[in-house]
Amino acid sequence: MSVAITKNTAIIKKKALDAGFSFCGISRAEFLEHDAPRLEKWLNEGQHGTMQWMENHFDKRLNPQLLVPGAKSVISLMYNYYTPQKQVDQQAPIISKYALGEDYHKVIKDKLFELVKNLKFEIGNFEGRVFVDSAPVMERAWAAKSGLGWIGKNSLLINKKAGSFYFLAQIICDLELSADLPIKDYCGTCTACVDACPTEAILPNKIIDSNKCISYLTIELRDEIPTEFKTQMENRVFGCDICQDVCPWNRFSTPHSEPLFEPKPELLNMKATEWYEINELVFEKLFKNSAVKRTKFKGLKRNIDFLKSSS
């Protein structure tokens, strides 16, 4: 391996940490052979629910060189979003931890653009693109391939030192870098996440049936939530952290240090009655620059009303 490859790899990992990312791993930009049949089976069995966009760009999801011509490396990054802060009213509808602060798509993407700019200053020009959960990139597969963790039974990436409350991001580029090796699966015989899932969405072989997943039902599903889930939502109104909250590896979670991910006090302090009476004006103010805007007011109100009718 050339000195330049070793040097550039070290620079990238240092600059990533300087930019606030907790972990950085690198893999070769090659076809995801192991993931292709799993993705095809998942789609064929309709376990993506109404997320028709998951059927698009099948080849691009598996081959990074179709996203970045001449790509040689995939740089995978993890950014902490864990917070021990909770909504004060224990009867209030629950928002997933990742959505309590500002929308991670913009926050992380801005950090990636800045990181790439700094890398080009240090290394020299290179071609590449940044990705944060908004393009046909299998971020968990790439993170696992680069040794940042393993795919847990709940299908999320679990880092041995820090758990799973992390945003994943990638830089696919034409730099030749030193690749990291995957690590072993440390879930063992533990079934905590499987046992805790109230809708039984976690299937064998690390498969999630989206049609049953609370995150899907409250965010991605545009139709009415099926009545069969009325007693199974665990008061979740946007997303779900249940399978992460019970994961033993998340005992290593530490609070994030990103000011933009700090929850708004007014959000944490909202009473259940205020949630049930929320209007569009309050929604726009409360969730400005928030991932919750993905559901729009109509979607969040649907979720709130569904919970209310279940109580």
Q: List residues with catalytic annotation.
A: 133
Number of other residues whose CB lies within 10 A of the CB of residue 37: 9
Residue with token string 């864990």: 82
Instruction: Enter the DSSP assignment of 220.
Output: I
Instruction: Enter the DSSP assignment of 291.
Output: G
Residues 6 or more apart in contact with residue 226 via CB below 8 angstroms: 217
Number of other residues whose CB lies within 10 A of the CB of residue 85: 14
Residue with token string 């064998």: 204
DSSP per-residue string spanning 160-206: TTTBS-EEEEEEEES---PPPPP-----TT--HHHHH-TT--EEGGG
Alpha-carbon gap, residue 222 to 50, rounded angstroms: 8
Helices (H) and strands (E) in the chain, counts: 12, 10
* Neighbour-count burial of 11, counting CB atoms closer than 10 A to its CB (0-12 exposed, 13-18 middle, 19+ buried): middle
Where helices occur in the chain by DSSP H, the ranges are 3-18, 35-44, 58-62, 104-123, 139-145, 192-196, 214-215, 242-245, 265-268, 272-276, 280-286, 296-310
Alpha-carbon gap, residue 163 to 153, rounded angstroms: 13
